[in-house]
A and B are shown apart, each in its own frame.
Chain A
Amino acid sequence: MMFDLKQLYQDVIVDHNRSPRNFGILEHADRKLEGYNPLCGDKLTLYVKMDGDIISDIRFDGSGCAISVASASLMTEAMKGKTIAKAEQLFNDFHHLLTAENAEPDLDRFGKLAALAGVREYPSRIKCASLCWHTLHAVIDGNAAAVSTE
């Protein structure tokens, strides 16, 4: 029983929840968007600064469960310095990792993000992990409306 739970709350996730990276308002952000999960009340704001088509800086702010905070923290780490095309690719791969059925994902490819793969086993929690990603996806698309997971 505890083994399963440890698959979800891996050390990486507990650590990123306790000390989220890139947390707080980003002054002079080019783009800013709020994501909201009405199911649990998770709310986060994502700030992005672009240098051409490169994400030169990215931060987030808000409150949520350990899964959503850790996911946002890990995502900002992974996205910093990426081109928009690379960011989109990672979004698609990560989305596939969380939602594809019967897939045997190549976890090594995801680095630290692989810690979030355990969420697959918890259908009601996938939205927690994906909130920040959908928000980023909308930011990149230039969609100005706030993102909701519903």
Chain B
Amino acid sequence: MNAVNKQKTVFDINKIRADFPVLTRKVHGLPLVYLDNAATSHKPIQVIETLDRYYREYNSNIHRGVHTLSEEATAAYENARQKIRRFINASTDKEIILTSGTTESINLVAQSFGRSTLKAGDEIILSQLEHHSNIVPWQILCEQTGAVIKVVPINDAGELELEQYERLLGPRTRLVAINHISNALGTINPVRKIIELAHSYQAKVLIDGAQAVAHCVVDVQALDCDFYCFSGHKLFGPTGTGVLYGKRALLEAMPPWKGGGDMIRTVTFEKTTYNELPYKFEAGTPHIAGVIGLGAAIDYVNTIGIQAISDYETGLLEYATAAASTVKGMKIIGTARHKASILSFVMDGIHPHDLGTILDHHGVAIRTGHHCAMPVMDRYAIPATARASLAMYNTREEVDKFIMAVNAASQVFK
């Protein structure tokens, strides 16, 4: 590659922060320190203006009108699909199904792929690290088909026990559904190895990438995953947008899940024929503005570079982890060797919920609770944790404020 093609990006934290209007607001009279990015990320002005422009200038329905506005909206919508396809390196736009979020993407696979192929006694492998949205759809599927769930345990550090995983794989394994990065602990799972092993048993693999797309490079072809799911709102895009990547041959063979407009080719009361990919899975008017906004979010991330973001966050996590070790009574839950920028912790003598309220008074937003991952809490025999999750716009100064607020909380309960 020559030097001209190699576009060098510079990670300019001040410039990035200036792009996020909400970061200038105050909470309880203090500057907001937003450390709840694993729940949802904020949106840069480029995304906000994209939504605004859509509604002001070319709001209309897609894939049907011949008028100018509809053609513009359709072009922008399909252009966003291309951006998404390139972002995760899928080979064709037909493999990019637009959904309302990771949850819907997983449910689509469970109800379409799962229900049409799984039989009683077939096995689905999940992990103890999963979010409820990657557990419950499979439980529903098991009730419908008689398939059974097997669970890969985690060790004390919050890492998957791969030997146990290998032992669970067998001739009845049909599907492995595992997250790329744990939302509760930050563990980065060895998904490539997980996929390779599953494929040696002819099992398909779904990766829940909700926590991963904003924090590390995702290349679905290099991973060789069968399905990859993520949400737009954790990637600096609008809520209500999501993506299901699926290998084309699988998607072609899968029956439609939701019926409605846009997903059909012809309809009579005797017989309906379905549209081609990806529209076969996109019934009804989608979140048009949201998808176009997600395209803008991806453009934004690309101007910084996902690898640069990942490197910056790794440094920030190291800084935060070191700072946390100085706080008396603070115990980090989840100490995997490969971790994304999530700091889940408990404090001696302070319930996470109280901590969340006190930190809020210092302008610091964290998440407290079970993080929709109750099996993880059970593993550590705790009801809840406090979780600080960092994004590319967070700074070391913010980490310092967070640590100061935690120390202040200790004073309240002294």
Contacts and interface: CB of A to CB of B under 8 A. Distances in A.
B353 A125 contact: yes
B369 A39 contact: yes
B30 interface: yes
B28 interface: yes
Interface residues on A, range: 20 to 34
A66 B384 contact: no
B361 A66 contact: no
Interface string B366-410: 001110000001000001100000000000000000000000000
Interface in A89-127: 122, 125
B161 interface: no
Given A4-B28, A65-B351, A125-B353, A40 B384 contact: yes
A1 B354 contact: no
Q: Which secondary structure characterizes the binding site on chain B?
A: mixed
B357 interface: yes
B28 A41 contact: no
A56 to B, nearest CB: 31
A18 B349 CA distance: 8
Given A4-B28, A5-B361, A128-B353, A41 B383 contact: yes
A17 interface: yes
A8 B369 contact: no
B171 interface: no
A66 B29 CA distance: 25
B355 to A, nearest CB: 9
A28 B221 CA distance: 64
Contact of A1 (B29, B352, B413): B29
Contacts of B354: 9, 65-67
Nearest to B374: A41
A63 B354 CA distance: 13
Contact of A41 (B350, B357, B358, B369): B369
B377 A41 contact: yes
B117 to A, nearest CB: 33
Contact of B383 (A8, A42, A122): A42
Contacts of B10: none
A40 B368 contact: yes
A8 B29 CA distance: 18
Report, nearest first, the 10 A-B pairs whose CB atoms are least far apart: A41-B383, A65-B351, A65-B353, A66-B354, A40-B353, A5-B361, A65-B354, A41-B384, A9-B412, A1-B28
Interface of A: 1-2, 4-5, 8-9, 14, 17-18, 39-43, 63-67, 122, 125, 128
21 contacts: A1-B362, A2-B361, A5-B357, A5-B412, A9-B358, A14-B412, A14-B413, A18-B413, A40-B368, A40-B383, A40-B384, A41-B369, A41-B384, A64-B351, A65-B352, A66-B350, A66-B351, A66-B354, A67-B353, A122-B357, A125-B357
